[in-house]
Structure 1
Amino acid sequence: MKLNFDGFILALFCFIVLAYFFPQLYLWHDGEILTWITSVGISLIFFFYGLKLSFQQLKAGLSNWKLHLLVQGATFVLFPLLLLPFYPFVQNGLQHDFWLSFFFLAALPSTVSSSVVMVAIARGNISAAIFNASISGLIGVILTPLWMQFFLDFGEIDVFGDVYWGLIKEIIIPVIAGLLLQPYFGKWALKYNRQLTLFDKSIILFIVYSSFAESFVSGVFERTGKLYLLWVFVGVVLLFILVYGLIYMLAKSVFKFDRGDQITALFCGSKKSLTHGSVFGKFLFAHSASAGLYFLPLMIFHAFQILVVTVIAQRYHNKTKDII
C-alpha cells in the first residue's frame, strides 16, 4: 500500500520554525499588514468555497437524517463531552491552556475536502459526505464560539459583536456571495480547484505563523517543555481513537448503518478542520499570547487524522475490490 506524503504538514512545521527564528514579519507595523492579508485571504477562501458548492450533491445527501445526526452529534457534542469531565482537575494556568487547547479542537467543525476524498477512496456514501462536510463549517460558526465562551476569558472582546460578526463577515457572507455567483464563475472555480486549494493552504500558513510568532515573542513557550509536547501528542492519539471507536460502535450497533454509511460516519465524524480552526482561532484568541499553544493539538490532530484515515480508507477500498 502506497501512502502519499502531505507536503502541507511539513510546511506547517516549517512556518512554526520560521516564526521562532524570524518573527519580524508579524511585528511589522504591529502585525496590521499580516492581519489585513489573512482577513482578505479568509474571505476569498470561503468565497471560492461557495463557488464550488454543489446544490445537487447537497440535495442528494439531504434525506439521510440519521447519518447526519450521528456525524454532527459526534462533531459538536461527543467531542466536547469527552473533554468536559477533565475540566474540574485543572489547577493552574498551564494546565488550563493545555485543557483549553484540546477543548478548542473538540469544538471545531469537521473537515471538508479531505473527508469527501477519503470517503470516495473507501467507497462510502459520497453524497452524504459532501452534505455533512459542507454544513459542518456553517454550524460551527454558531456552535464553536458558543462552546468556547463558557471557558475562554474574552476580556474586552465582545463575543456577539466582535467574534460572531467577524465570523459572519469573513465566512458566511463570502459563502453566500460565492453561491450567488456560482452560475457565472462555478465552472472556473472547479477548473482551477488545485490552484485555489494551494491559495487556501497559503493563508492557513500565514495564520499559523502569526499565532506562533506572537507566542514566541511573548515567551509563552518558555514555561512549557518537551514533556508538554509529549502529552499533547498522547492526548491527540487517545482522543482520536476514542472518538473513532465510539462512532464505529454507534454506526454499526445502534444505528445499524450499511457499509457505505458507516464509512461516511467514521470519516466525517472523527475529523476536525484546520481551515476553520485557523479562522475561528483568529477571532477567539485575538491578541492572546497563548494562541500558539491553542493551535498545537489541532495541527497534530490534522497530521495524525490524515495519516490514519488514509490507511483505513485504503483498506476499505481493498476490501471492496475483494468483495467485487
Structure 2
Amino acid sequence: AVIDASGTWRTPNPLGAGGIAAEGEAEFADRIAYGIPDILGRDRALYGGRATLVAGSGHSAANALLDLARVADDEPGTTFIWTTRGTDLVRIYGGGDLDALPARGELGSDVRDLAESGRVQLVTGFATTAIREEDGRLIVEGDTADGLRRIGPIDRIVAATGQRPDLSLTRELRLDLDPWLEGVRALGPLIDPNEHSCGDVPPHGHRELSHPEPGVYTVGIKSYGRAPTFLLLTGYEQVRSVAAALAGDVASADAVQLVLPETGVCTVPGGVTVTGKTFAGCCGGPAPEAADGCCVADAEAKAAGRGGCGCGVAA
C-alpha cells in the first residue's frame, strides 16, 4: 500500500491573486516569508523596527499579526499592514466564546481586537498583482474595487495565503481528485471553502480516502487539498481507519467516528448531497435562534447526529 501523508506545508500558494505569482514576487523572494515566520524567535531581527505587510485572511495571518504586535510593543518603529483579498472577515474573527476549541476562538478574538484598535492598517478587497522596489524598499500593488492601489513603502512581506498539495509525488498513479481543491474527490463538496466556513465534514475513512489505483490512500491535510479547515482530529481518525483496512479488520475500518469541535461560525446554510447522501453542513436545519448578535448551534441537527458548527452569523 501507499499512504500519502506528505501534507501541504512546503508548497505555499503564491502571494499573487488568481493562483499565480505576482509580478516581482520571485525577484524579491528574499524579503517574503510564506506561512508563519518565527517572528518572536530566530527571525525577530528581520521584523523589529521595520514595516511589514501581512497578506491573508486565515489563522496563519492572525498568528503573524499578533506576533508583530508583540514585537512592536518592545521595538519602536515596528509597523505592519494587513491585506485581505476578501471583504468579509467573519471566518478569521471566529466564534469567540462559542468556539469549542478555546484557543482558536481566542485567536480570532485577539486579531479582531487588534484590527479594531487601529494598531494595524487593514486593507480589505485587495488582490495583489505586483511588487516593486523604490529607494531600496518595497511597494505592493493590487487591484481593488476602486482600481489600482499601491501600499508601502515596506521592508518585509508575510504571505499567509494558504498551501496546496504537491501532486508530483503521485503523478504516475491513478488518483481520483476533486478538480477544484485537488484533495480526495469524496470530500470536495463537503469542505469547499467557497461553500463552507466551518469545515463540517461527516465521518469518513478508508473508502473515501482511497483511489482507483489499488492500495493507494491520501490522508491528513493533503486529503483536503487546498481547503484550509483541516483539524488533527480528522487526520487521526482517517489514519486509524486506513490502518484497520490494511490489517484486514474491515468492520473496524468502516466504524468511523468523527465529531468535530464546533467553530461558533457558519456563513453558508443548507445541505450538501454526496454519493446519494445529504449532509446538513454546518448550518443545517431550521433557522437558528438569535443570541447576542449571533446564532446558536442548530440543536435539531445535533440531535439527529448531523453535527453542526454552532453557526454564529453576525447580526
Q: TM-score by structure 2 length?
A: 0.20
Higher relative contact order (CA 8 A, sep 6+): 1
Relative to total residues, which structure has the larger helix share, 1 or 2? 1
> Which of the pair has more CA radius of gyration?
2
